[in-house]
A and B are shown apart, each in its own frame.
Chain A
Amino acid sequence: MTDLEYLKLSKPAKMLYDIKHFLAALPGRIGNGLKKLFLSIWNALKNLGHGIADLVPTFINGDWKTKVSYFVMGFGSCARGQWGRGILFFVFQTLFNLYMFFPNAQFSGLYYLGKLSTLGTIETHKEGRRTVYGDNSFFILLYGVLTIFFIIGFIYTWYVNIKQNKISEEILKSGHKLKTTKDDLASLMDEQFHKTLLALPVLGVTVFTILPIIFMILVAFTNFDMTHQPPGKLFTWVGWDNFRTLLSTDTTSYGNTFRQVLLWTLIWAFFATFLNYFLGMLVAIMINKKGIKLKKVWRTILVMTIAIPQFVSLLYVSKMFAADGLINTYLMKWGWISAPIPFWTQPGWARFTIILINIWIGIPYLMLIATGILMNIPEDLYESARIDGANAFQMYQKITLPYMLFVTGPYLLTSFTGNINNFNVIYLLSQGKPLSLELSGNAGYTDLLITWLYKMTVSDTNYKLAAVMGILVFVVLAVINLIAYNLIPSVKNEEDFQ
């Protein structure tokens, strides 16, 4: 299809074409991505191979200082006068050895590493009435992972140490002088300043983000739950069992419940995002319209919902909609209904009520955002449209909406993501209820994946399935975001409004 043909298409047809095009291109793009990934892994492996292959000649051809450095890290650097580097290398090696071979076996890295394959075998037992704790699977897993990190770090540092020796030898051979400690320190403030700045953040991210994530991913492959709870009990590896439980295709049990909850999560995220978006925009347009009086009053009234903490307002509203709540009581008093409306007890009603209440708390935010953007749309666009005889809806469709979508595209995406994980609204309003015999694992009809995950960890201490859920939530979000990101106008037609 040529550009001209494409431009002739109607809006829905264009969109359809876009989606088709995107889907058609998807396998190729995934293939390309995979190819790139494999290439980079292959290159990394090749480099690693070269590095390892280089170790032997370096040892054979190196002088005695280099040779000793193979066993005592930093020796070569010290012997060649680079005290700063040498001492750092040596301290690191000492720390590593101390950690790995600590005299008290319970605290040594080697101990944790050795137990990692079983996650502990010594059971907690009692001597008389006194309890003697055995292996703690939790710590074995945590410190085992930490130890592996430490070992990788050590091997890398050891390699750097040897490479430095080689480079130093070459520099000395060519007749140049080596950098002194002072030069090193100066360079850390100058051409190596990025290392100085990033050292702490990288360490922090590794210890506080990457390590816990890897730990959690590993938990998904264990049977860590209420009957395997350290320190009293051991837990151990179970392979893919937990994934099988959650993704099973039978119509009962967890697999079915997972699919139902996932479906509702997506439906909820869709409505919560787009209903709020369009209604909020509508309200903003209405308030912005010329001739509307008391603009500030209307805005203030709406913004009040933001001013009151959600914890208060949501709990209160949830009570209002209860069978004996304000709304039902008055409707019955006025004789409009004879029995309470089951706002929270019927699955369909509960879902509807939640979306409805979410509109009430979501509109003000959108109204504020939309107000700002609407004021930014050049007035002359509307003027010329009016001269051309466009009506209000046409102007909205051709000017306001494209402009809004362009500016707020990324916001829509993040808000969709946020709604998939919108814990507050769901948990404060319904706690995921109503439950049903048709659902397993304490899940209810209004549970999102994230609230179900919360129940699993907090009330059921079912960490193994919760870990699997966490991974699956990530997968769902990643897939949706990647697709949507490529479709939003802000990315696709980046230059439209510039």
Chain B
Amino acid sequence: MKKFLSVVLALAMLLSFASFALADYSGDVKIWVAENVVDFTKEQVEAFKAANPEYANMNVIVEPVGEGDAASNIITDVEAGADIFGFAQDQLARLVAAGALLDVEPGNAEKVAAENDAGSVAAVTLGETMYAYPMTSDNGYFLYYDKSVLSDPSSMEQILADCEAAGKNFYMEINSGWYQTAFFFGAGAQLTFESNDEGQLVKMNSGYASDNGVKALKSIIKVAASPAFVNGSSVSNANNICAIVDGTWDATAAKEALGENYAAAKLPTVDGYQMSGFGGFKMLGVKPQTDDDKLEACDALAAYLTSEEVQIARYNAVGWGPSNLNAQQNEAVQADEALSALAAQLAFCEPQGQYPGEYWSLATALGDDVIADKLDNADDATLLETLKNFEATCEGYLSK
């Protein structure tokens, strides 16, 4: 009996050594991505396993969790959250501050920095530390319009006049902190935040409370006052569209809604200045791991899922514009109508950095006040006062 036991033990030891040498990691890895890329991600994970036999036995679970929810869910319960998850760059500082995001493996970080466009690299970096793998560089907005109605999509005044004349709607979500910047940045009023390596926002650079800011706010008020104006940015929720400020994710819906009159262009000029806005990015992050082997596996998988080939494959599968420089030169990517309009617009845009979570609701509050006509008859001094308060409130969000 004793002999038998020792043989079994010895065998078990041998087996464990053998498995140690063969497979680096064979446990579970959970991935959260947006619903429309779940199948695509599953395929790519299989390809990854095929290319890396040491991870062949790894059990990868891909679950559909939207980019907005992923960050909130992870922060609510880090331990139950996914090991690798997709999110948009506005969540980065929040995730890092909550201790829910691991920095990129230094070896990978160099490669990422060299292969992706500058905006996306800046977007995944806080202070000196890179925290996520850029996946797309297509989170920006531009103009979809009905070419049978609009004679000249390059001037806001003309667009509004044409829309009003045709009795059709002009859509722009001016109560969103994301779309509002088209006016402020365009007029030359900046708003950026600087963060330290821990994801805490420590400094604000703002030019909102200035003549430029007042100019931008007046443009917003002017646009909102047009009878053709409707607050909104989703083609599927809009009707009677003349023009809509929206992004590439709605390209299919826009094509359907506008039919053969579908056209896309960069944002127009308003009050004599070119509208600007955010260039945005989606990224993959790895959450803090307590197991070295698993960590290595997660690093490798995240790097693979954001590599050049996978970014091109992702564009072909679901139309997400790549952040990888080589992938951007791909023929199919270059021929895309909406992506070219976006590219034209991105020339005037600022890469979206980090903003405090409260900024977004504050900007919505500003937009809601404009839509509610609270500022319609305000003089410049009052508008400046409003922007000063806005700026002061923003400053209050900084970590002390």
Contacts and interface: CB of A to CB of B under 8 A. Distances in A.
A231 B368 contact: no
Interface in B77-113: 78-79, 94, 97-100, 102, 105
A338 interface: yes
Contact of A436 (B238, B292, B358, B368): B368
Contacts of A415: none
A227 B98 contact: yes
Contact of A232 (B98, B358, B373): B98
Contacts of B288: 124, 126, 131, 232
Interface in B235-279: 237-240
A133 B290 contact: yes
B100 A232 contact: yes
Interface stretch (A102-110, A242-250, A456-464, A481-489): A456-464
B372 A129 contact: no
Contacts of B97: 226-227
A342 B368 CA distance: 11
B98 A442 contact: no
B342 interface: no
Interface string A224-238: 001101011100000
Given A227-B399, A231-B99, A439-B365, A324 B232 contact: yes
Contacts of A133: 290
B368 A434 contact: yes
Contact of A324 (B239, B357, B374): B239
Contacts of B361: 435, 442
A226 B98 contact: yes
B365 to A, nearest CB: 4
Nearest to B226: A339
Interface size for chain A: under 10, 10 to 19, 20 to 34, or 35 or more residues? 35 or more
B78 A231 contact: yes
Interface in A114-173: 124, 126, 128-133
A345 B230 contact: no
B290 A132 contact: yes
Contacts of B374: 436
B141 to A, nearest CB: 19
A329 B100 CA distance: 46
B240 A229 contact: no
A226 B102 CA distance: 17
B389 interface: yes
Nearest to B239: A324
Interface in B351-377: 357-358, 361-362, 364-366, 368-369, 371-374
Nearest to A348: B372
A345 B99 contact: no
B75 A437 contact: no
B372 A345 contact: yes
A434 B99 contact: no
Contacts of B102: 129, 131
B27 interface: no
Contacts, number: 109
A347 interface: yes
A129 B295 contact: yes
B190 interface: no
Nearest to A127: B292
A329 B240 contact: yes
A442 B75 CA distance: 19
B200 to A, nearest CB: 8
B231 interface: yes
B105 A129 contact: yes
B289 interface: yes
Nearest to B372: A346
Nearest to A233: B99
A362 B317 CA distance: 48
Contact of B94 (A226, A319, A433): A226
B72 interface: yes
A323 interface: yes
Q: Which one of A130, A339, A458 has the greatest number of beta carbons of chain B within 10 Å?
A: A130
Interface string A337-372: 011101001110000000000000000000000000
B390 interface: yes
Interface string A310-333: 000000000100111000010000
A343 B342 CA distance: 34
A131 B231 contact: no
Contacts of B99: 124, 229, 231-233
A437 B364 CA distance: 9
A128 B290 CA distance: 11
A285 B22 CA distance: 81
Contacts of A131: 102, 288-290
A179 to B, nearest CB: 50
B76 interface: yes
A142 to B, nearest CB: 14
Interface string B366-400: 10110111100000000000100110010000010
Given A232-B100, A324-B232, A130 B289 contact: yes
Interface string B45-60: 0000000000000000
B102 to A, nearest CB: 7
A319 B237 contact: yes
B79 A231 contact: yes
14 contacts: A124-B99, A124-B288, A128-B292, A132-B290, A229-B78, A324-B169, A342-B373, A434-B175, A435-B175, A435-B365, A436-B374, A437-B390, A459-B72, A461-B72
Given A226-B98, A435-B365, A437-B365, 20 more contacts: A130-B295, A227-B98, A229-B75, A229-B98, A229-B99, A231-B99, A232-B98, A232-B100, A323-B231, A324-B169, A324-B240, A329-B240, A345-B372, A346-B372, A434-B368, A434-B371, A435-B364, A437-B386, A437-B393, A460-B357
